[in-house]
């Protein structure tokens, strides 16, 4: 039953990735049309139903003039992202590549996990942060990468660290990483395009239609510039939120289950999540990268959460494996914080 669900999840990830890629040009065309519509609308001195229709029609045909450029822009962006996404993610996360010689322990853990499934070895990178977190990235076998924080490597016992590595390896197996990388490219393009439109509006440029050339400069300036820029940027932000909703939070439950299957140690996965809870925030990491991590506690009052709660994940592992929720041994200066009060159970 789980195998069928996993196959459906992988196929869903591939479909969503293809859908996002195919939808880029159409989204940009819509944003450009909306941009020109409002620009034209604010430039028309007398407004009415017929004027609104005429402006909308003019904006549509003016947008068509840029359709070739939109597709060319998308093709260039996709090419850059395909070949340089690893460097872009590395720069955003502040991670550095490491070798087996530098960290033999984690390489040996990963190698054993990969051999058990007949998988090629991903690369490792480290973020110099005391936070406890990790994520996987990459679009194909050549650039699959597992990134760990220094804090998680130094803090977690070996069996828990192996469970975290297995969790990230499962994201690679399930093709979660491909969808997440594509979504980051998507959001980045929206942001870039919105800024480009703003610069066009501020510094000039025109189209073939009378609403978008010449005319009263004051009508196009001042408040209109500000309002149009806000509208375009707001649309970009809304789509970024919608993309996050499209990324099923089920992926974390499946990755936890995959880690348990690989390590045969559900207790280690639960203990790892308990230690990570409340210690996951990496300073200055962009939200788009944070959503790729094993835990992302950053959300707005519980809304727009990219991950299920640690409590739910631990309960699910416990129920799935019929294993009791473990207690963390107090081997630090203070007792580690649990995601909920186990003593009340």
Reading phi first (left if > 0) and then psi (alpha if -120 to 50, else beta), residue 266 is in alpha
Burial 279-314 (b: 16+ CB within 10 A, else e): bbbbeebeebbbbbbbbbbbeeeeeebbbebbeebb
Pairing relationship of beta strands 123-127 and 95-97 according to DSSP bridges: antiparallel
Catalytic residue among 125, 160, 162, 168: 168
Tell me the C-alpha to C-alpha distance, in Å, between residue 110 and each of 86, 133, 145, 146, 250: 20, 17, 11, 10, 24
Q: Can 168 be counted among the known catalytic residues?
A: yes
Chain position carrying tokens 């039953």: 1
- The 3-class SS string of 128-173 reads CCCCCCEEEECCCCCCCEEEEEHHHHHHCCHHHHHHHHHHHHHHHH
State how far the Cα of 201 lies from the Cα of 194, in Å rounded to an integer: 11
Strand partners, 135: 147, 293
What are the residue numbers of the active site?
Answer: 168
């Amino acid at each position: 039953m789980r195998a069928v669900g996993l196959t459906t999840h992988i196929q869903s990830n591939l479909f969503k990735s293809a859908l996002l890629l195919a939808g880029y040009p159409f989204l940009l065309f819509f944003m450009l049309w909306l941009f020109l519509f409002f620009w034209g609308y604010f430039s028309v001195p007398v407004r009415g139903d017929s004027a609104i229709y005429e402006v909308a029609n003019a904006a549509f045909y003016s947008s068509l003039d840029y359709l070739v450029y939109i597709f060319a822009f998308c093709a260039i962006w996709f090419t850059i992202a395909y070949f340089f996404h690893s460097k872009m993610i590395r720069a955003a996360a502040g991670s550095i590549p490491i070798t087996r010689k530098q960290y033999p322990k984690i390489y040996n853990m990963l190698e054993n996990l990969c051999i058990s499934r007949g998988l090629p070895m991903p690369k490792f990178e480290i973020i110099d942060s005391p936070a406890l977190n990790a994520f996987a990235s990459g679009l194909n076998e050549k650039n699959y990468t597992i990134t760990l924080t220094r804090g998680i490597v130094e803090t977690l016992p070996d069996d828990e660290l192996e469970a975290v590595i297995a969790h990230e390896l499962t994201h690679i197996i399930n093709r979660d990483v491909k969808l997440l990388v594509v979504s980051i490219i998507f959001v980045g393009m929206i942001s870039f395009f919105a800024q480009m439109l703003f610069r066009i509006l501020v510094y000039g440029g025109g189209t073939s239609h009378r609403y978008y050339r010449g005319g009263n400069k004051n009508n196009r300036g001042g408040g209109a510039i500000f309002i149009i820029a806000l509208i375009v940027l707001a649309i970009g932000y809304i789509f970024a939120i919608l993309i996050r909703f499209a990324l099923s939070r089920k992926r974390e439950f499946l990755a936890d289950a995959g880690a348990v299957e690989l390590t045969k140690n559900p207790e280690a996965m639960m203990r790892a999540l308990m230690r990570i809870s409340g210690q996951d925030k990496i300073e200055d990491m962009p939200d788009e990268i944070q959503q790729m991590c094993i835990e992302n506690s950053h959300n707005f009052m519980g809304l727009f959460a990219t991950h299920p709660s640690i409590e739910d994940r631990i309960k699910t592992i416990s129920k799935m494996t019929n294993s009791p929720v473990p207690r963390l041994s107090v081997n630090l200066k203070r007792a580690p914080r649990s995601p909920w009060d186990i003593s009340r159970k």
